Amino acid sequence: MLRALTLFLALPLAGCGSGEEEVVARANSVEELTNRLDKLADRTREDIEPPQRLAFLRQSDVGPRLRAYPACRLRKNDRLYLVVNAAGAVARIDGRPVALAVSGPVGPTGGFFTAPGVTVSVGRRLDPTGVGADEYDQGWPARVTIGGDRERPIEKHEATWICIR
**pLDDT in single tens digits along all 165 residues of the chain:** 444 444 444 444 455 555 555 545 555 677 777 777 777 776 665 556 667 899 999 999 998 888 877 789 999 998 999 999 988 999 999 999 999 999 999 998 999 999 999 999 999 987 656 555 455 567 889 999 999 999 889 999 999 999 886
Distances (CA, A) of 133 to 6, 107, 124: 90, 10, 9
Query: Cα separation of 113 and 124, whole Å?
Result: 15
Give this prediction's pTM. 0.65
Domain parsing of the chain, residue ranges: 2-48, 54-163
Report the pLDDT value the prediction gives residue 2, as an integer from 0 to 100: 45
Residue 58: phi, psi to the nearest 5?
-95, 160
Report the pLDDT value the prediction gives residue 30, as an integer from 0 to 100: 79
Query: Cα separation of 143 and 157, whole Å?
Result: 6
147 neighbors 117 (Cβ within 8 angstroms): no
- Residue 40: Cβ within 10 Å count: 10
Residue 139: phi, psi to the nearest 5?
105, 160
